[in-house]
Chains A and B, each alone.
Chain A
């Protein structure tokens, strides 16, 4: 199969280049070759390459900046995926699109299932929801929307890397402790995508492709934590690896969301129920600590 990856140099895109390689021919595209803000660029990229699968790992991810760049965020996260979906549909290609737990308002207390009502509380969340809507409307059905959360990777900027840096540089650290979620590694997302696509590869081009379980799935590591406890684990792992920390993980101060106002609102409760994904594809999702442990090890060597 020929698999086109849009956003190949992002956190997830970088891992996808590795994880999808065994499935066939990977065509990696960064912003220069396929710009989600530019519909013509998207159409040209797909028409020239005629992929069997399009994986959209490109996104506007600056959650706080989005509050001031609403139009750009909506174009990249909202319209862009819709154009990708139209072009993929015309080619009979499967579109895999990543969305976010930020489409929910975080007011539930039980993990969100795919059927729960979306209600984004930030511009970023709205833009991601708009993207889902555009993808669902545009295609004849061959799409997989994977909603994930608290993504970190060894490539690109994220909370994990920021914490490692701050713990080495600063002697005090205050981290929010009242938002709950599951840190999910870009590598895990890429591996799950490969697993799902490998099952798709078995039916692509046959009658069975009609019955592939397309749709929306929640994808997150197992378990839950807060940013505060997550930072604590990162600190302990770094210290165990011999890194000299300016602030010890036990001395990190736990603060509330209100103590640390940011331009964009975050959902307080962000647990995603992943049983639909696990049951449909026969997948085990590892505990969030495993991915963090691995990433910290990679980053510190």
Chain B
């Protein structure tokens, strides 16, 4: 078991009350596992189950395999322009 630090932004950082959160990671975990582990944490239970995830600065699907040294971020609905 290791831990990955997930970056939070904008409304998601407000929901959790901080800009990063540490999430347990088991070898072989995918993005879908990360989202489930994240929302099991009391501080993060209000985050949406369908949040978009970026891994190493690229959007990643639910089946993307995660590694402990990946840069992981939860991306709220974007509103640029």
Say whether A and B bind each other: no
Give A contacts to B, CB under 8 Å: none
Give B contacts to A, CB under 8 Å: none
